[in-house]
Amino acid sequence: MAADVCSCGAPKVARAKGCRRCYFAARQARRIDPALGQCACGAPKALSARQCGACFRSRPVTRPRHDQCACGATKVRYSKRCPRCYADSLRVVPPVYHCACGAVVSGEGLRCKPCFYAARKSYPRKWASDLIRDYRTGQHRPKKVGWQRTHGRSHTAAYQLYRGMIERCRNPKAPNYHNYGGRGIRVCARWEKFEHFLADMGERPPGHTLDRIDNDGDYSKENCRWATNRVQHNNKRTNHPLTFNGRTQTIADWARELGISYYTLNSRVTIRGWSADKALSTPINPAYRRVP
């Protein structure tokens, strides 16, 4: 029976060390421990607080009070000006600029549109005297004034190919300049004008592009032709020609003629190091033979 009685004589709670009164008394004692849970005034405080609630509410508040504007009016705390001074600061009148004729313009030293066009009509050749550098010839020529029609064929495919030829031969910033102008490939003097190029080569046939017969030669009438994509690929300087039975063709042409895969022939010649006779005469497995 004594096991069910607290030290104070009251009945103990089941599975507890004491009665409810002793439990809450011990809990309150832990909260107001004199070493950690007591304020300087003697009142209990939380362990994580510096002082009790009464001392915190009665602490002196030192807030800067700047409630007066420069004009003497009352302003909102933490603001720089009163509402009237703030509104006056937004009413900034921009400066007004005038043309020589008296019209209002947007900036200093500018002219209105009527004065600008009147001055332009009085000396229309002023801008034509300026010189610009032509990267195609490396010389300076007068800048054109206004819209001037030259040949009227800038939208055609032949002109686009012509411009590409000029770019890769004379513009160092072109992506393929190192393969053309960097190797010394030039455009003949007659083809400085598109009209002469069109007269020599004619219009581009469908499915054809400009091709040089000699890869190391310049762009000229004698060394250029309109060729298909297959002919262009067979005329590249990176091709590997093979001579067999007195005939010389590229690996791609031999592969089409013999019905062998291009990758098989290329592997035999460039990777395995076979001779042309062995690479072209060695049969392959019929299951892997290419049907022409």
pLDDT per residue as tens digits for the range 135-166: 555 566 655 555 455 777 788 888 999 999 99
Section 251-267 average pLDDT: 85
pLDDT digits (tens, 9 = 90+) for 50-99: 788 888 888 776 554 557 777 877 777 667 788 888 888 777 677 888 88
Shared domain for 157 and 228, answered yes or no, is yes
The tally of domains found in the chain comes to 3
Q: Which of 196, 212, 238 is the endpoint of a domain?
A: 238
The per-residue pLDDT for 136 is 57
Does residue 122 form part of some domain?
A: no
- What is the pLDDT, as a whole number, of residue 39? 80
Q: Is 224 within a domain?
A: yes
Task: Please say which residue of 193, 220, 238 terminates a domain.
Answer: 238
Banded pLDDT at 1 (limits 50, 70, 90): very low
Same domain flag for 220 and 251: no
- Give Cα separations from 99 to 91, 122, 176 (angstroms): 25, 18, 51
Residues 156 and 228 in one domain: yes
Whether 252 and 232 map to the same domain: the answer is no
Q: How far apart are CA 169 and CA 211, in angstroms?
A: 14
Please tell me which residue, 250 or 89, carries the higher pLDDT value: 250
Specify the DSSP class assigned to residue 148.
-
Residue 193 inside a domain? The answer is yes
What are 65-69's contacts with CB under 8 Å, separation 24+? none
Residue 137 lies in a domain: no
Has residue 126 been placed in a domain? no
Assess if residue 112 is contained within a domain: no
pLDDT of residue 127: 43
Of the pLDDT bands very low, low, confident and very high (cuts 50, 70, 90), residue 219 is: very high
- Establish if 103 belongs to a structural domain: no
Domain membership of residue 278 (yes or no) is: yes
Per the confidence metrics, is the pTM higher than 0.75? no
Domain containing 176: what range?
151-238
End-to-end CA distance of the chain: 110
158 and 175 assigned to the same domain: yes
Query: Looking at residue 77, what is its pLDDT?
Result: 67
